[in-house]
A and B are shown apart, each in its own frame.
Chain A
Amino acid sequence: MALLTLSSPHAHGRNSTSKVMMTVTLATLPGLAVMTWLFGFGTLINTVLAALVAVATEAAILKLRNRPVSFFVKDNTALLTGVLLGLALPPLAPWWITVVATMFAIIFAKQLYGGIGNNPFNPAMVGYALVLVSFPVQMTTNWAASSQMGLDGAALSLASFGDALSTIFAGGAADAFTGATPLDAYKHQIASKTAAEVLAEPVFNGWLNGGWEWVNLAFLAGGLFLIWKRIITWHIPASMLGALAVCSLVLGWDEDLYTPVSLHLLSGATMLGAFFIATDPVSASTTKLGRLIYGAGIGIFLYLIRTWGAYPDAVAFAVLLMNFAAPFIDAYTQPRTYGHKKAARGLKKPEAK
């Protein structure tokens, strides 16, 4: 019989990896519901597709690696990776984008590094960055504007379900529904218009952020639930959102020149990133001080890339950049252990042989 080696901490039943991951997955449901309400069934279809592909890929690779398949699949990490990817991808992204992103995330970002617990980078964001870099056209033009779909409930009819299916799987013409996201629109139009003129654009729909504020508030609610359940701590989201707000207020206070802070906090993938993606227990920092630095780094990168970078949103790049730094941050922020006067910090020199 195969004995499974489990390292400490040997927590008792209540918080198994499987249960934690399932709770996180369930906490995304409010956000998923709001996105489906706003953008139609595309988000839902892509999320389900990504989740199925993720689990199937994980099982296939585990089989190839001669690992116990059902034990690792049941920990739900692949499921969560798939769900997060599905939420991050544009609602009407063609099916092969979802499949490529998910398979790359599971195979290259997770299993090639040794599977659960060994991946230095957030798998979902590696998959997302891959397709964002590879297929810029399909990734930026398949955002349905909420003013064109949804809101009046038309997005939830059976006919629109069929439309979304045919757009995703048969590559049907989606031109009538596609548009830029509010973040993208504001960034590019503010160069020639005033804030009031930009906000009157149809993409903003007369609302604060063209519906995106509801998406973000829903993810915020899911995130607060996770903090209440003590699955994540407050450090990373708080420092990330704080750094983003401070950057926006200090560097971009003039909303006739820069994207305003309300749009930064309540548009794009800000809340999804802060509560669900940056807090990945494997690739994030693990000490308290480290988490504050790590979160703040993501917030700063997020602002810099959104404002001066080539991409309208930057959660994936910001998270991946800070993933690089996480082991280093951890090494320098170790807490003092009981019985020692000083904390053992810094990188240890390799022993001379």
Chain B
Amino acid sequence: MAKSLQDISLDGLWNNNPALVQLLGLCPLLAVTGSVVNALGLGMATMMVLIGSNFSVSLIRNHVPDAVRLPAFVMIIASFVTVAELVMQAFTYELYEVLGIFIPLIVTNCAILGRADAFACKNPILPSVVDGFMMAMGFTVVLVLLGAMREILGQGVLFSDMQLLFGPMAANWKIELFSNYPDFLFAILPPGAFVAMGLLIAVKNVIDKRIKDAAEARKEPVEASAPKRVRVTGN
């Protein structure tokens, strides 16, 4: 029952999106998506960890007994989180300061342990890596979308402080959408993240329903049946 790489990708990005469908890793998702740059930074760190852990777990999958697999996975994930943390500290120090505790907390992101246990320990290396990449991609896309929504609603700007991630050349990427915008604290604070997240999930469900309806409409050819008589009398 090996899945094709295409299915794995589709699963990670849409059908089984860790943020919108599995609802895993909500803590960082809701806490740091106050702006696009925070969201992107955390998304990339998560991606690095997820690809690395899926790769390593897949490598050792035939050698670790079931009973001790979880400690082994956690150890692997913790190592990669430490690496990610040090890399961010070295190259994007300000962003590292802004994200703070949420970088080490990637280790508790259940999406990562979930993929290790549900996928990587049962599959060869290539599908595992692709799965890690696609899951992280789906996670990051949602993070960035949330970050953009909250940045626009909260501060009336988009892509502020991108130089934290992309260096000085990104300093003027900031777009002021409204001048004289009063900060809308609700969107910046965690409750706003819950509301925005709910709206995103709702949008995904609507799209899924549309796709399903369209597929069903295509499957069933329209029957040209005679209009049925409907009983209208009798009250």
Across the interface, do A133 and B195 meet the contact criterion of CB distance under 8 Å?
A: no
| Contact assessment for B185 and A134 in the assembled complex, using a CB-CB cutoff below 8 Å | yes
Shortest distance in angstroms between B235's beta carbon and chain A's nearest beta carbon?
A: 12
Contacting A at CB under 8 A, from B164-221, are 182-187, 189, 191, 195
Task: Please indicate which of the listed interface residues B182, B187, B189 has the most CB atoms of chain A within 10 Å of its own CB.
Answer: B182
User: For B183, what are the chain A residues with a Cβ–Cβ distance below 8 Å?
Assistant: 134-135
| Interface size classification for chain A | under 10
List chain B residues, Cβ under 8 A from A26: none
A130 — which chain B residues lie within 8 A by C-beta? 186
Please name the residue on chain A nearest to B195 by beta carbon.
A108
B-side interface size class: under 10
Contact B182 A133 (CB under 8 A): no
- On whether the beta carbons of A134 and B195 are closer than 8 Å, the reply is no
Residues of the B chain whose Cβ atoms lie less than 8 Å from the Cβ of A133: 185-186, 189, 191
Contact B182 A135 (CB under 8 A): yes
A339 within 8 A of B: no
Residues of A within 8 A of B182 (CB): 135, 138
Bound Cα distance A301, B120 (Å): 50
Closest-CB distance, B218 to chain A (whole angstroms): 25
Contacts of B185 in A (CB 8 A): 133-136
Q: Please give me the residue from chain A that is nearest to B202 by CB atom.
A: A112
- Of A130, A134, A135, A138, chain B has the most CB atoms within 10 Å of the CB of A134
CB distance from B176 to the nearest CB of A (A): 18
> Scoring A residues 156 to 184 as 1 if CB is less than 8 Å from chain B, else 0, what string do you get?
00000000000000000000000000000
CA distance A108 to B185 in the complex (A): 17
Q: DSSP majority for the B interface?
A: helix
CB distance from A324 to the nearest CB of B (A): 14
Q: How far is the CA of A130 from the CA of B195 in the complex (A)?
A: 12
Q: State which residues 110-141 of A face B: CB under 8 Å.
A: 130, 133-136, 138
Q: How far is the CB of A169 from chain B (nearest CB, A)?
A: 15
| Cβ-defined contact, B184 with A135, below 8 A | yes
Cα(A138)–Cα(B184), bound, Å: 11
Point out the residues of chain B lying under 8 angstroms from A136, CB to CB: 185
In the complex, what residue of chain B is closest to A171 when comparing beta carbons? B180
Q: How far is the CA of A130 from the CA of B153 in the complex (A)?
A: 14
CA of A108 to CA of B186, assembled, Å? 14
Closest to A112 in B: B198
Q: Which residues of B sit under 8 angstroms from A108, Cβ to Cβ?
A: 195
Residues of chain B lying within 8 A (CB to CB) of residue A135: 182-185
Q: Cα distance A116–B185 when bound, in Å?
A: 28
Give Cα distance in the complex from A313 to B182, angstroms.
Answer: 23
User: What's the minimum C-beta distance from B29 to chain A, rounded to whole angstroms?
Assistant: 20
> Which residue on chain B has the smallest CB distance to residue A96?
B182
Q: Which residues of B contact A134 (CB under 8 A)?
A: 183-187
Q: When chains A and B are docked, how far (Å) is the Cα of A130 from the Cα of B187?
A: 10
Q: Considering the complex, give the chain A residue whose CB is closest to the CB of B192.
A: A134
Using CB atoms, name the residue of chain B closest to A136.
Answer: B185
Question: Shortest beta-carbon distance, B180 to chain A, in Å?
Answer: 9
| Interface membership of chain A positions 187-222, coded 1 if the CB is closer than 8 angstroms to chain B and 0 otherwise | 000000000000000000000000000000000000
CA distance A133 to B183 in the complex (A): 11
Q: Nearest Cβ distance between residue B195 and chain A, in whole angstroms? A: 7
Which of B185, B187, B189, B191 neighbours the largest number of chain A CB atoms within 10 Å of its CB? B185
- Contact code string B142-177 (vs A, CB < 8 Å = 1, else 0): 000000000000000000000000000000000000
Complex CA–CA separation, A133 to B191 (angstroms)? 11
Residues of A contacting B191 in the complex (Cβ-Cβ under 8 angstroms): 133
Q: How far is the CB of A348 from chain B (nearest CB, A)?
A: 27
Question: Please, how many angstroms separate the alpha-carbon atoms of A138 and B183 in the complex?
Answer: 11
Instruction: Collect the chain A residues with CB atoms within 8 Å of residue B184's CB.
Output: 134-135
Docked Cα-Cα span, A83 to B132, in Å, equals 53
Known: A134-B183, A134-B184, A135-B182. 14 other contacts (CB 8 A): A108-B195, A130-B186, A133-B185, A133-B186, A133-B189, A133-B191, A134-B185, A134-B186, A134-B187, A135-B183, A135-B184, A135-B185, A136-B185, A138-B182
Interface residue ranges, A against B (CB under 8 Å): 108, 130, 133-136, 138
On B, residues with C-beta under 8 Å from A are: 182-187, 189, 191, 195
Q: List 17 A-B contacts (CB under 8 A).
A: A108-B195, A130-B186, A133-B185, A133-B186, A133-B189, A133-B191, A134-B183, A134-B184, A134-B185, A134-B186, A134-B187, A135-B182, A135-B183, A135-B184, A135-B185, A136-B185, A138-B182
Q: Which 5 A-B pairs have the closest CB atoms?
A: A134-B186, A134-B185, A134-B184, A130-B186, A133-B186
